[in-house]
Structures are given as structure tokens and as C-alpha cells.
């Protein structure tokens, strides 16, 4: 009896960069109900590869949070040219999710485990009247804010610290220590932009930092209040969680 030909399965480890408007999604991670970014990518890639594909993201953005530079990785058993794969994925997604780039990565690459640091921006619209195009992507704060005091408070948070005060009380993370390497507050026309870079972020961490800095900027707290909350590891000493709409994952560095 003559054996049939042996067909070797070529597995491609693929890295993609994804932009999305998170307004209508329940965040990155697949949920039991509701549409998610990971869920939409998984659906499309599983159809293209004719099997169930597991998609790993660099981070779990929350419901309503946006991305300019989310990174995901997955393995495919069908061979695709990068540009053709990009166009095939985008052709099966809604226009509020776009795959910006595709590349074949080293087999050891993993979107989350290989990440060195991430950068988020939080945008605050300070105009008396916000443009209707701002509401999805910035928090419209009605009232004066002092950017200098916000910058001073932000500087007190930079470094490797336990950020228990700046996450949810029931955080699933076993270790709340993160290295916040940059936290800046800049003025751009009628906006204040908070830029945060760290080796990782806890759930709601950037939004809680933003809420704390807003409280400082409006005079509700002194700049040193941020440092006190950090040292005490007490969530009640930090500010409120700022709305999700103002937050965007800007980039992931490897």
C-alpha cells in the first residue's frame, strides 16, 4: 500500500497593530455578553484560518476605552501575505476597528508577555463648549483647571511604587507594583493631555490617576494628596475614576 503525501502545516506567528473606537464595545477581553475587540478579531481570524484562533492582546482596555496602538498576536495555519491578511481582516470588521499593520513575528513573540512598556493618553476638553466630535474621545470638564499643580502631583507618582490606591479594591492582580516611568500633563489648545508610560498598568489605574490630577487641578486636593494616597495604599485617598471616553492606548513598546 502506497502512503499518501505528507502535508506539513506551516504555522505563522503574526503580530498586528490595531486602532479602535471603543465607544460601542465592552472592552478588549471577550465577555459572556456584549461585543468586544478581542471577540471581533477572534471571529474574523477563525473564519480566515478555518479553525478556532486564539488572539492575545498587549493589554485589556476597558469598556469605552480607545486605541491608537494596541498590539495583538496569534498563530495561523494558513499562509497569508501581510498586506492581504490586513485587508482581509479589515474587510470583515466594522469601521470602528482597523488593523493598521500586519507582520510575521518571531515564534517567541507574544503581544502581552513580550511587551516592555505601554503609553496611554487621557484627554480633558477644557473649552466652554465642547465640539460634538470631542465627546467620544475626551472628558469635557466644565471649570478651570490648574495644569501646574496637576504636573506637580504627577511628578510625585513617577517611579516604582505599589499603586494599590489607584486601582479597584477587588483587583485580580496579585502584585500592584508598577514602574511609572513618565507622567506628564501638557496643554494643547483647549485640551489638557495626561501622558502616562509604565511597564504595566492595573485596572482603572490611568483613569484613577487622571481623576486624582483633575481634583488637584480644580483645587479639591493639594498636590501632595497623590503622594499620600500612594504611600498609604488607600483607594479612598485617591480621586474618582475619570470617564473611559477620555482614555486611549497610544502605543506598546517591545
**Which CATH number fits the domain that encloses residue 38?**
3.30.70.580
Q: Which residues are catalytic?
A: 62
Cα distances (Å, whole numbers) of residue 112 to 73, 117, 153, 199, 233: 9, 10, 30, 11, 26
Q: Are residues 135 and 18 in the same domain?
A: no
* Residues of the domain holding 182: 117-253
The pLDDT of residue 235 is 96
Tell me whether residue 6 is in a domain.
Answer: no
Mean pLDDT of 38-62: 97
User: What is the spatial distance between Cα 121 and Cα 196, in angstroms, rounded to a whole number?
Assistant: 6
The rounded radius of gyration (Å) of the Cα atoms in the chain is 21
Tell me whether residue 212 is in a domain.
Answer: yes
Q: pTM here?
A: 0.92
Residue 249 predicted with pLDDT over 90: yes
Which of 104, 135, 160 is where one domain is finished?
104
Band (pLDDT 50/70/90 cuts) for residue 143 is confident
Tell me whether residue 1 is in a domain.
Answer: no
Which of 59, 76, 104 is where one domain is finished?
104
Residue 5 predicted with pLDDT over 90: no
Q: Are residues 66 and 172 in the same domain?
A: no
Q: Are residues 90 and 126 in the same domain?
A: no
Q: Are residues 84 and 139 in the same domain?
A: no
| Phi, psi of 84, deg, nearest 5 | -70, -40
The pLDDT of residue 31 is 92
Which string of b and e fits 102-132 if b means at least 16 CB within 10 Å?
bebbeeebebeebbebbbbbbbbbbeeebee
Q: How many domains does the structure of the chain reveal?
A: 2
- Rounded to the nearest 10°, the torsion over CA 34, 38, 42, 45 is 130
Tell me whether residue 3 is in a domain.
Answer: no
Tell me whether residue 215 is in a domain.
Answer: yes
Domain with residue 227: its CATH number is 3.30.70.660
Q: Are residues 124 and 248 in the same domain?
A: yes
Q: Are residues 125 and 86 in the same domain?
A: no
> pLDDT exceeding 70 applies to what percent of the chain?
96
Q: Are residues 134 and 248 in the same domain?
A: yes
Band (pLDDT 50/70/90 cuts) for residue 10 is low
Tell me whether residue 111 is in a domain.
Answer: no
Question: Over the stretch 208-226, which tens digit does the pLDDT of each residue have?
Answer: 999 999 999 999 999 999 9
Q: Are residues 134 and 240 in the same domain?
A: yes
Q: Are residues 96 and 198 in the same domain?
A: no
Q: By the 8 A CB rule, do 38 and 109 touch?
A: no
Amino acid at each position: 500500500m502506497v502512503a499518501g503525501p505528507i502535508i506539513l502545516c506551516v504555522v505563522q506567528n503574526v503580530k498586528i497593530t490595531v486602532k479602535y473606537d471603543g465607544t460601542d464595545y465592552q472592552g478588549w477581553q471577550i465577555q459572556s455578553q456584549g461585543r468586544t475587540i478581542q471577540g471581533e478579531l477572534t471571529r474574523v481570524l477563525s473564519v480566515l484560518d478555518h479553525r478556532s484562533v486564539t488572539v492575545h492582546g498587549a493589554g485589556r482596555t476597558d469598556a469605552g476605552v480607545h486605541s491608537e496602538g494596541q498590539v495583538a498576536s496569534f498563530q495561523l495555519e494558513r499562509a497569508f501575505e501581510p498586506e492581504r491578511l490586513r485587508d482581509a481582516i479589515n474587510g470583515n470588521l466594522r469601521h470602528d476597528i482597523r488593523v493598521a499593520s500586519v507582520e510575521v513575528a518571531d515564534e517567541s513573540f507574544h503581544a502581552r508577555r513580550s511587551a516592555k512598556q505601554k503609553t496611554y493618553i487621557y484627554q480633558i476638553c477644557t473649552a466652554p463648549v465642547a465640539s460634538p466630535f470631542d465627546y467620544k474621545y475626551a472628558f469635557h470638564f466644565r471649570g478651570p483647571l490648574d495644569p501646574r499643580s496637576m504636573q506637580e502631583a504627577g511628578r510625585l507618582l513617577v517611579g516604582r511604587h505599589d499603586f494599590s490606591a489607584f486601582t479597584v479594591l477587588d483587583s485580580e492582580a496579585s502584585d500592584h507594583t508598577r514602574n511609572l516611568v513618565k507622567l506628564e500633563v501638557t496643554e494643547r489648545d483647549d485640551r489638557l493631555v495626561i501622558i502616562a508610560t509604565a511597564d504595566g498598568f492595573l485596572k482603572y489605574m490611568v483613569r484613577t490617576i487622571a481623576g486624582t490630577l483633575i481634583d488637584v487641578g480644580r483645587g479639591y486636593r493639594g498636590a501632595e494628596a497623590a503622594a499620600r494616597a500612594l504611600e498609604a495604599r488607600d483607594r479612598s485617598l485617591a480621586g474618582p475614576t475619570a470617564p473611559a471616553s477620555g482614555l486611549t492606548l497610544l502605543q506598546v513598546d517591545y
